[in-house]
Structure 1
Amino acid sequence: MAYRGIGYLRNKLSIKRGRVKTRYMYYAMKHNVPDFGISTPPKLRNMMSTLGWCGKAVDSIADRLVFREFADDTFDINGIYQANNSDVLFDSAILGALIASCSFIYISADEEGFPRLQVINGDDATGILDPVTNMLTEGYAVLKRDDSGIPQIEAYFTAESTIIYDKQSGAEVYDNPAPYPLLVPIIYRSDADRPFGRSRISRACMSILASASRTVKRSEISAEFFSFPQKWVTGLSPDTEILDKWSAAMSAMFAITSSSGRNESEPKFGQFTQQSMQPHNDQLKMFASLFAGETGLTMDDLGFVTDNPSSQEAIKASHETLRLYAKKAQRNFGTGFLNAGYLAACVRDNFAYKRRAVYKTTPKWEPVFEPDAAMLSSIGDGAIKINQAVPDYLDAEVLRDITGIASNK
């Protein structure tokens, strides 16, 4: 097979790395929102206002995706994941894929030949994707960087070998017993146009969040006027010291000199009408509504309480779009985890199994929404009626998939 080479993949990663880092900055609430410089005083233009909506959009799905196990696991893939801290590994891979559109699982062998699994974020790995199997034909990953972000240890993956490049000790070549490179992508919402998927933090999310952050900043500035209304005085002598325009705008006293230059009348004092915070609140609520529509969240999720506490069914109905997103993510991530487990089994057994050997192995997930007591009662009544019509149609395993509750048998 003709490979593009590590140089091509290095350049590819350097192009994509900035976009991924930007989304991590939005997730961590460290993004820099540009200021228009129109309504902000010069001394306050460096003031930062942040909102955690992008983090909420990611965590709202990531926290609901709980991987349970592989069914019909003839190659003991469950055992491989359990030996590699599966709880942390699954959550880390899912979170990275939702933020960056994809993350990667790097497979290597320990001293005894047992596979080790390590999650690599999308800003440190890339490759050439096979659209049929959703696995890589060749891959590249940065395993270690120095404090300046310069790669110190790199890995190049092919179907024949894994080459580790260390700036200190040189290159080492490890034979690959699997039929595919030992770097597996975990992709969120891939399609023919974007084979490496799409980030949960879309361009629309970043644009709306930037506008909302500026609204919060303007509201903080306006709160100073709201808390201490500005006063005015007219009829002063032109010899009176006049403040610059921003000092005058921000000062508690706004002065206007007499046009004639003579004090023909006594100075007149007054007070401007107190500002209202309502326009800022309305604008922030508008941006929250746009963000909720973009991400499948509700206004309650973004901190705007709109109704009394709802029942489990009402919450589930209001999050129908979010549920569909989560079910789609389960299908995407389940394929990636199965691919990684399949290649790990090849490393463990030192044998190149065919991909179709695991076609019966299926990923199992916990329910996206855990049912409450009322919902469990409805499920029980429905299960009894269905089993009366079709005996043994719903068994303990099916009910566990619906309720998430395991049987003691």
Structure 2
Amino acid sequence: MPQKGIDYLRKKLVIHKKRVDLRYKQYAMKYKDPMIGVTIPPDIRERYRAVLGWCAKGVDSLADRLVFREFAKDDFEVNEIFGANNPDVFFDSAVLSALIASCSFVYISSGKGDIPRLQVIEANNATGIIDPITGLLTEGYAVLSRDDSGSPLLEAYFTAENTSFFHADKAVRDLTFPNPTGIPLLVPIIHRPDAVRPFGRSRITRAGMYYQRYAKRTLERADVTAEFYSFPQKYITGLSEDAEPLEKWQATISSMLQFSQDEKGNSPTLGQFTTPSMSPFTEQLKTAAAGFAGEMGLTLDDLGFVSENPSSVEAIKASHENLRLAGRRAQRSFGSGLLNVAYLAACLRDGYPYLREQFINTQPKWEPLFEADASMLSLVGDGAIKLNQAIEGFVDSETIRDLTGVKGADYSG
């Protein structure tokens, strides 16, 4: 397959960078939605800009449940490689970046000693040409550092034969290192890939962004309306033309105002405009929350609308069934990407191009999406006893840990 070249990959990254940056701004709650409306002046609306973290909640609700444990049947001792690369930060960073931007990349390089070094690169700084069969890249490109204006300072181009580095400072010599693995040392970690979108789909969907924008507009309107709700507008009719005009602020905060009759014995009439109700905004906000929760597989409780609290893990799992299914799908796609990282890291460590088929028995293990409580432990224990009575040795300590996440005292895994 002919290579596209670094210039093609540079242009490809520029095209996709805007989309990724939008998702990161939405996650960081720094994105400013365009002002829409015909009743509130722009300068007033600007004072009541709403900030809402629903998109961040939608990402974190799944990312916090995806906890990588280890590789089972580790014939090539890849757990040692991940253990030496700060796994508590590495796995969380790779998963979170992939959920926000649809994918993240892991740059594999030689470290001190025999252990390769793993570095997570966000999707707005890396791209490549993917092999749809293996999920590996045929060539890759990454920006390893940028200046304050966002221009690349250090770029890397990955091929099956070499890894090349290009400096923006022409005084620094560009370097090229041979690649002993036969596969580019840039591995994608992809969330929900398919035939149409081989680099996956972001957890922050267009529908999710719409519902959050709709809720922010509702909060802005509610804030402006609250000013009139706190200080209702009043009026006076029948006031003599010779009467001294009222000072507006004094008329608003005074508890007692005095008006005298005119020469004809007529007295002014006081009135108050109808106070706007805040109830429609509450209903609108709840409608937006229900739509966002349905899109993300959450409940209204997760978004701050307190209802009846579930009493057990089973009830929580039942109310988050869509979130559980999304988590299972994410575990499968992320597990494949992490296995590719393990495969290339082992090849680089040993300086030998292993076959991908040799890693078919190595399995990524994840902690359960929902932690077990006492009730669930009791049910699993009763079920394990009955299954082992029917088929001796059917359920062992490893199976129990996969179901509950609890590591037994005699479990050596």
Root-mean-square deviation (CA, aligned residues, Å) is 2.1
State the match for 1:268 in structure 2: 269
1:182 to 2:190 alignment = no
State the match for 1:230 in structure 2: 233
Taking a change above 3 Å as real, the CA distance of residues 271 and 171 of structure 1, as seen in their structure-2 partners, is: same
Taking a change above 3 Å as real, the CA distance of residues 113 and 311 of structure 1, as seen in their structure-2 partners, is: closer
Distance in 1, Cα, partners of 2:241 & 2:35? 36
State the match for 1:98 in structure 2: 99
TM-score, normalised with respect to structure 2: 0.91
Distance in 2, Cα, partners of 1:239 & 1:20? 66
Distance in 2, Cα, partners of 1:181 & 1:252? 72
SS of 1:16's partner is helix
State the match for 2:64 in structure 1: 63
State the match for 2:259 in structure 1: none
Match of 1:210 among 192, 201, 213: 213
State the match for 1:245 in structure 2: none
SS of 1:159's partner is coil
Q: Contact conserved, 1:105 with 1:120, CA < 8 A, in 2?
A: yes
Q: Contact conserved, 2:35 with 2:42, CA < 8 A, in 1?
A: no
Give, in angstroms, the shift of residue 291 of structure 1: 0.3
SS of 1:283's partner is helix
State the match for 1:23 in structure 2: 23
Q: Contact conserved, 1:187 with 1:196, CA < 8 A, in 2?
A: yes
User: Structure 1, residues 357-389: CA drift from partner, whole Å, max 9, x if none?
Assistant: 101101000000011001100110011011111
Q: Mind listing any 5+ residue stretches in structure 2 that lack a counterpart?
A: 254-263
The one-letter amino acid of 2:117's match is R
The one-letter amino acid of 2:139's match is E
The 5 A counterparts of 1:80-229 are 80-168=81-169, 169-229=172-232
State the match for 2:6 in structure 1: 6
Distance in 1, Cα, partners of 2:243 & 2:2? 82
Q: Contact conserved, 1:143 with 1:155, CA < 8 A, in 2?
A: yes
Distance in 1, Cα, partners of 2:305 & 2:238? 48
Distance in 1, Cα, partners of 2:10 & 2:237? 68
Tell me the matched-pair count: 393
Distance in 2, Cα, partners of 1:238 & 1:59? 64
The one-letter amino acid of 1:33's match is D
Distance in 2, Cα, partners of 1:8 & 1:339? 25
Taking a change above 3 Å as real, the CA distance of residues 272 and 349 of structure 1, as seen in their structure-2 partners, is: same
State the match for 2:346 in structure 1: 345
The one-letter amino acid of 1:16's match is H
User: Structure 1, residues 153-173: CA drift from partner, whole Å, max 9, x if none?
Assistant: 000000001001112313100
Distance in 1, Cα, partners of 2:136 & 2:241? 78
SS of 2:166's partner is strand
User: Structure 1, residues 47-88: CA drift from partner, whole Å, max 9, x if none?
Assistant: 320111101100001000010000111111100000111111
The one-letter amino acid of 1:120's match is I
State the match for 1:365 in structure 2: 366
Give, in angstroms, the shift of residue 34 of structure 1: 1.8
Q: Contact conserved, 1:179 with 1:353, CA < 8 A, in 2?
A: no
Give, in angstroms, the shift of residue 239 of structure 1: 11
Q: Contact conserved, 1:37 with 1:45, CA < 8 A, in 2?
A: no
Distance in 2, Cα, partners of 1:393 & 1:16? 49
1:292 to 2:304 alignment = no
Taking a change above 3 Å as real, the CA distance of residues 334 and 270 of structure 1, as seen in their structure-2 partners, is: same
Distance in 2, Cα, partners of 1:347 & 1:238? 93
The one-letter amino acid of 1:221's match is V
State the match for 2:381 in structure 1: 380
Give, in angstroms, the shift of residue 41 of structure 1: 3.7
User: Structure 1, residues 280-308: CA drift from partner, whole Å, max 9, x if none?
Assistant: 00000000000000000000000001214
State the match for 1:394 in structure 2: 395
